[in-house]
Structure 1
């Protein structure tokens, strides 16, 4: 159940200008506004929205027109409120079915040993808002778990091959809504790499060098920074970690600074990778190579 706290009793009137647009966009605008400073919508407004959805307000919705309203909510102060509102009025499964499908699905954690992926997703989004993360980070937080909704039940809370299931779903979502390339690229990168970043170890210098290259640390620093922001938000969204620093960010920062000191002149691609691994090993005080992938 997504709605775990009561709605405020204050009535939130429907803005007149919204009533003049397509009903679906009016509904999505209200959901997006609930992520803003005025907070969640009241029961009367939610009941009206529920009636609109039940009577076909979302039929014929043009996804590309809906995306700006979803962006408004994602970029709000409390993005989770938009998703709670969409769920409460029955719209989430119609507007974002792949995202709706992860609610109620368990995922392994530390303490407690399992979390609801959907609830965790809401916490990640709110953490991203607290640190002022840009849209690509927030979209990736919303999208990167979509391959876990139909993991074989006998494997839960582990999600084998969720990357293979998630990639076409993220690509289809981006195509449907006309989502920008930077959002798409970060979501696909997070799908593959976020859990690897969480597992990165200082005793595996070679794979760390390879990871930094995959993450764009050397040639796409903004992309790398956004992924690390997402990973930090994901880490702090777990119970009892809200105020913690993200330890893997510090580890990769040490590795990146070690690589920055390398004189790359005359080095081949393989030679550069070897030099990076050696520099990271010295910085970590660890073995240079490992057969396992970071």
Structure 2
């Protein structure tokens, strides 16, 4: 080890490196098992026993030399449902406290974060990071949600952090895409900065969420397709939940803001995020989300309006946008009447 971070290593590879020395440098005991030419297992660190017991245990203190191993531990915990050995968790806490995690580069953090989100149980990834203190360093916006209350009437789980994990787990359970899972995780970030004197209400959290997401996306260099969907979900999930109460004009503005005319597939993804938001509440895991089908029907009706025909019928080109808006709003209003 020559410096902090996962690049601060001097590499030595030569024929005189023994198998035992090689296995000693592995991260976890379950990854420090070899097999000889006769098929005999070589297990100097009792990895087979840990594998059977479902335990992630570090091989040696060399584990602490690479902060990426904290993220790998969290990912393996999410993938296999394994527990972190107490001594390994303590070592991970030490790595956080001594600043090793601070040396992680944005691209590597996002790479591991994306992998964690794509596991069957993403919540385990973030719970592991939180248990060693790494979440506060890597995703402080998410960490800030834990311990913040919401109205029990709408959120039986109460805690905003727990809700975020329930939502992302629902997105994983439905095998939604990475961008949907990222948006599901981050849609309520603004609730972590709600003024304490108005809790458990979260007035204006949508706009706060948007600002936090912009900063987070820049810091971790989140791909555009992921950050764009997350920003839409943060800003509009409340409006979408109340779709049946919205006027035709407001629904038009929602479609317009989401660029649903040109990107209906992304709008469908946005509805997936909102559905997971509703199901990601204690006792509501099987709830239906009729708002999705409703809005997709209205979007189809509005997109059926022939903007080209309207343009050809306008003598004043400056009037075209207003006429198209009028026609699409009328189509939405007609659709609302039919769907009642």
Structure 1 position 160 matched with structure 2 position 203: yes
In 2, the alpha carbon distance for the partners of 1:280 and 1:110 equals 32
Structure 1 position 278 matched with structure 2 position 278: no
Task: Sort the Cα spacing of 1:20 and 1:37 in 2 relative to 1 into closer, same or farther, 3 A.
Answer: closer
In 1, the alpha carbon distance for the partners of 2:156 and 2:57 equals 42
Structure 1 position 233 matched with structure 2 position 276: yes
In 1, the alpha carbon distance for the partners of 2:174 and 2:208 equals 30
Task: Sort the Cα spacing of 1:274 and 1:40 in 2 relative to 1 into closer, same or farther, 3 A.
Answer: farther
Greater relative CO (CA pairs within 8 A, separation 6+): 1
Give the match for residue 70 of structure 2: 27
SS in 2 for 1:106: coil
Judge conservation of contact 1:34–1:73 (CA < 8 Å) in 2.
no
1:106-255 aligned at under 5 Å gives the runs: 106-108=149-151, 110-111=153-154, 115-201=158-244, 204-255=247-298
Residue ranges of structure 1 left out of the alignment (5+ in a row): 1-7, 287-294
Task: Sort the Cα spacing of 1:285 and 1:59 in 2 relative to 1 into closer, same or farther, 3 A.
Answer: closer
The number of residue pairs the alignment matches comes to 279
1:94-113 aligned at under 5 Å gives the runs: 94-108=137-151, 110-111=153-154
Residue ranges of structure 2 left out of the alignment (5+ in a row): 1-51, 311-319
Judge conservation of contact 1:10–1:42 (CA < 8 Å) in 2.
no
Q: CA deviation at 1:232?
A: 0.7
Most deviating of 53-62 and 106-115: 106-115
Q: CA deviation at 1:86?
A: 0.8
In 2, the alpha carbon distance for the partners of 1:15 and 1:195 equals 48
**Structure 2 counterpart of 1:54, from 97, 107, 114:** 97
Most deviating of 217-226 and 265-274: 265-274
In 2, the alpha carbon distance for the partners of 1:129 and 1:182 equals 18
Q: CA deviation at 1:91?
A: 1.2
In 1, the alpha carbon distance for the partners of 2:145 and 2:83 equals 22
The two structures have a TM-score, normalised by structure 2, of: 0.74
Judge conservation of contact 1:128–1:138 (CA < 8 Å) in 2.
yes
SS in 2 for 1:107: coil
In 2, the alpha carbon distance for the partners of 1:10 and 1:37 equals 8
Computed over aligned residues only, the root mean square deviation of the Cα atoms, in angstroms, reads 2.7
Task: Sort the Cα spacing of 1:234 and 1:274 in 2 relative to 1 into closer, same or farther, 3 A.
Answer: same
1:36-55 aligned at under 5 Å gives the runs: 36-55=79-98
Judge conservation of contact 1:139–1:183 (CA < 8 Å) in 2.
yes
**1:79-121 Cα deviation digits (max 9, x unpaired):** 0001110111121111111110011112236455672110000
Task: Sort the Cα spacing of 1:68 and 1:211 in 2 relative to 1 into closer, same or farther, 3 A.
Answer: same
**Structure 1 counterpart of 2:54, from 10, 22, 35:** 10
In 1, the alpha carbon distance for the partners of 2:193 and 2:187 equals 14
Judge conservation of contact 2:75–2:119 (CA < 8 Å) in 1.
yes
Give the match for residue 258 of structure 1: 301
Q: CA deviation at 1:49?
A: 2.1
